[in-house]
Amino acid sequence: MPDPSPLAPTLRDLLPLLLLSFSAGSLTQLTRLLARPGPPRLRPTLALAAAAGIAALTVTALTRAALPHPDPALLLALACVTGWSGPGILACLGGLVERRLGLRDPAAPTGRPQD
């Protein structure tokens, strides 16, 4: 259980960091999608950019929870790498967490779900 000391950051304190990581992940994915040849379709492009932002926010929050005082440059780099990888990284991360908690059979397939 986390330490409820007064030095523990509140959500209000973390909000700028989380917004920055969401923006970095979304912008990175959006850049990747717009760099593809041909005109992008608006709705799938925006959905993938938003999902990548959520993935980047999640990775940043998990890293911030795991490391007491991570370097902000590390958090920004993780957000950008996650944004480039896209939302599929959450499926891999979720599978890893489920296996660690004993919620999933180790032989069960992991990775990106098929559309």
Q: Kindly tell me if the per-residue pLDDT of 3 is higher than 80.
A: no
pLDDT of residue 110: 56
Per-residue pLDDT at 114: 47
Angle at 70 between CA 13 and CA 98, to 5 degrees: 90
Contact 89, 59 (CB under 8 A): yes
pLDDT digits (tens, 9 = 90+) for 79-112: 999 999 888 888 887 888 888 888 876 666 655 5
Chain-centroid distance of CA 33 in Å reads 17
pTM confidence score: 0.74
- The Cα–Cα gap between 28 and 91 comes to 19
pLDDT reported for residue 115: 40
Contact predicate 86/51, CB 8 Å: yes
